[in-house]
Chains A and B, each alone.
Chain A
Amino acid sequence: MKAPIRAALILAFVAALGVLSAGAQGTVDRAKVLRAAADALGMVRWSDIGTTTTRLPGIDIVNTMEFRGGEYHVTLGYNPPAMRVEMTRTGPDGRAAQHTIQTVRDSYAWDESETGAGLVPGKGTATPAIAAVKERLLQLWTLPYGVVKAALAAGDKTTVSTEGGATVMTFPLSGQLAGITVKATLDSNNLVTRVETRSDNPALANLATQTEYSNYADRAEVLTDIKSPGRIVRRQGGRTILDIEVKAWETNNPYLVFPVPANVKSAATANSR
């Protein structure tokens, strides 16, 4: 074999090895980063209590949660994906406080006149809000736990990089939120501290947000070793749209349910025709 050909083959072999190595490294890094992020939040858990015959692997344990801060009360769940946001905003110039309950589950969104409105005859009113599905679901999936779950679900589409010394995960959302990309920054403890969403689709431009999470601790009444942020600041178009000092964050998969009122289902069906 002539020397130039041999050299070219060696070069190609080394290059191929490099590509394979980089690919393998990327996979390992992604898995490690996702695991570290899930561990930091306390999401990965296993238990042998009640059994001496099994040694089960860990699973993602987060499903339902509830947190309060100021006049902001949120209940949420990831299976099924659902969120109920209750706000009381005092009007400027002494105007009466405005109380709203905004709920979403799967592909349904509605406003409630009281918690659980529209489920029992004569108990409040549920007003369909189909156009709000994406915006409300985005709040759920950009919470730290939602970020880790969505990054895991995105599989190979999740990329991991380093920016300014910080680890960054970037991944696309799917389902109702297809077309939106999430960029999540981890701190040195692997906790999600900053989440940015963007879309190349102009129709989804209003869903571009930046949310910062800080002051993590286990602040649940029933301690769970799950870490939750103590402060949430969300910005949109440079304007702060949310700033919450969290007082309590119940993480023990509490009883939280989100049944869809019949009139909301009917409205969604009619809208899809």
Chain B
Amino acid sequence: MRVLACSRIMAAAAALCLLAATVVAQQGPPARRTNNAPPKPSGATPRTADGHPDLTGVWNGLGDNLNGVPNQIANNGVIIESESSARDLHNGQPVAVFSRNTNRGQNNEEGERAASLLRRSGSNRPIYKPEYWEMVKYNDHNANEEDPSNNCMPAGVPRGAIPSYISQHPNYVMFIYPGQGGLIATQTMYRMIPTDGRQHTPLQELDGTYTGESIGRWEGDTFVVDSWGFNANTWFDQIGGYFHSENMHVIERFRREGNTLTWTATVEDPDVLLEPWTTTPRVQLLNPQPNAMLPESQPCSERDLAHIVTKEHH
């Protein structure tokens, strides 16, 4: 009997301990996601008075900082659906998944190399004309020096991808891309995109700029931004060395579903590309805070580049 009573006390104590542990766990930091699958939309899609989906909002819910810097791993074209399944987002090919090696951690250098590899492992690559293949490879190998957006220049289009803030008005839409410091230092960029039915200025009359001349229109519930009139001082993305000519034509598609915004861009540049190239879709979440604001963008002052001793591109 004494043994039974003792057992009951121990069981009660264990239950109390478990309860306490549960409470601690609930108060601790949220568990990290173990997949990078695009988020599923939730909630209704708000509409403006003219019936179009309302894109207005702070679109940095999936970013890892308040400026909405996109999750770089999620953008590499390989989707990790679970701890046992991954595939190439472009062509669906399975990619082998392994558990983390818990016996040995990675130092910063190894982590950077891994990130560099991860972001280049997808199959969706623009196909350049053969005479430019070596140039693209050279750009990518030497991106710390060659990337035109380093040294605080604008990221441009399509590299800017999903803006951190969108403001939608009857005759125009405003995009804001806050700049960021660090080695991927870029300048704050904005785009005012008319939706009043105007036509493009003839290309030969435009002076090439970083964001070009953009004109918006609605195709059903998809907001289409058609841009040309660029300079040749930007790349398609932070990685890859994907340069373009001044004759680049970009068609971006934004589609809001609930609290998600999906973006793709198709790049036409017959001067350098063998065929048009469409980016892997990116999905961003609306900031869930109703009073969300964009913080002041970090002053852009490049200080790291001179101290880089390896070729790893961040």
User: Which chain B residues lie closer than 8 Å to A3 at the CB level?
Assistant: none
Q: What residue in chain B is nearest A116 (Cβ atoms)?
A: B130
Contact: A252 with B120, CB < 8 Å? yes
A-B pair count, CB < 8 Å, reads 167
Contact: A253 with B121, CB < 8 Å? yes
CB 8 Å contact bits of B36-71 with A (1 = contact, 0 = none): 100000000000000000000000000010000101
Contact: A80 with B98, CB < 8 Å? no
Q: Counting chain B CB atoms within 10 Å of each CB, which of A51, A80, A116, A221 scores highest?
A: A51
In angstroms, Cα B177 to Cα A56, docked, is 27
Contact of B80 among A48, A59, A222 (CB under 8 A): A59
B206 at the interface (CB under 8 A from A): no
In angstroms, Cα B98 to Cα A152, docked, is 11
Chain A interface size range = 35 or more
Contact: B72 with A120, CB < 8 Å? no
In angstroms, Cα B129 to Cα A149, docked, is 30
A53 at the interface (CB under 8 A from B): yes
User: Using a CB-CB cutoff of 8 Å, which residues 74-90 of chain A contact chain B?
Assistant: 79-80
Contact: A39 with B101, CB < 8 Å? yes
Tell me, rounded to whole Å, the shortest Cβ–Cβ distance linking B84 to chain A. 8
Q: What residue in chain A is nearest B75 (Cβ atoms)?
A: A50
A13 at the interface (CB under 8 A from B): no
Tell me, rounded to whole Å, the shortest Cβ–Cβ distance linking A232 to chain B. 22
In angstroms, Cα B117 to Cα A225, docked, is 10
9 A-B pairs (CB sep. < 8 Å): A45-B118, A54-B35, A59-B98, A60-B97, A61-B121, A80-B93, A80-B123, A254-B141, A257-B128
Q: Which residues of A contact B (CB under 8 A)?
A: 35, 38-39, 44-64, 79-80, 114-117, 119-120, 123, 149, 152, 221-226, 250, 252-257, 259
Q: Which residues of B contact A (CB under 8 A)?
A: 32-36, 64, 69, 71-74, 78, 80, 83, 86, 88, 91, 93, 95-101, 106, 110-118, 120-123, 125, 127-131, 133, 136-137, 140-141, 240-241, 274, 310-312, 314
